[in-house]
Amino acid sequence: MIVKRASRGFAAAALLVAAGLAGCGGGGEAAGEGVAVTGKITFDDEPVEEGVVSLVPIAGDAGVVMAEIKDGVFKTSREAGPSPGKYRVEVKVFASSSNPAAAKAKAKAESDAKSMLFGEDPAKLGVSADSMTPRLNVAPERYNVRSELTADIPAADSCELKYSLSK
Residue 8 maps to which CATH number? 2.60.40.10
Q: Are residues 25 and 13 in the same domain?
A: yes
Three-state secondary structure call for residue 13: coil
Spatial contact of 18 and 151, defined as CB atoms under 8 Å apart: no
Q: Are residues 63 and 78 in the same domain?
A: yes
- For residue 29, the model assigns a pLDDT of 43
- The whole-angstrom separation of Cα 144 and Cα 91 is 5
- The whole-angstrom separation of Cα 87 and Cα 117 is 43
- The whole-angstrom separation of Cα 53 and Cα 76 is 11
Query: pTM of the entire structure?
Result: 0.67
- The whole-angstrom separation of Cα 33 and Cα 1 is 18
Q: Are residues 124 and 148 in the same domain?
A: no
Q: Are residues 54 and 124 in the same domain?
A: no
- H or E stretch covering 6: strand 3-6
Query: How many CB atoms sit inside 10 A of residue 148's CB?
Result: 10
Q: Are residues 115 and 72 in the same domain?
A: no
DSSP 20: -
DSSP letters spanning 27-62? S-PPTT---EEEEEEEETTEE-SEEEEEEEESSSSP
Q: Are residues 119 and 142 in the same domain?
A: no
pLDDT in tens, 106-126: 677 667 766 666 666 666 666
Q: Are residues 21 and 79 in the same domain?
A: yes
pLDDT in tens, 54-72: 999 998 888 999 999 999 9
Spell out, as residue ranges, where the chain has pLDDT lower than 50: 1-23, 25-30
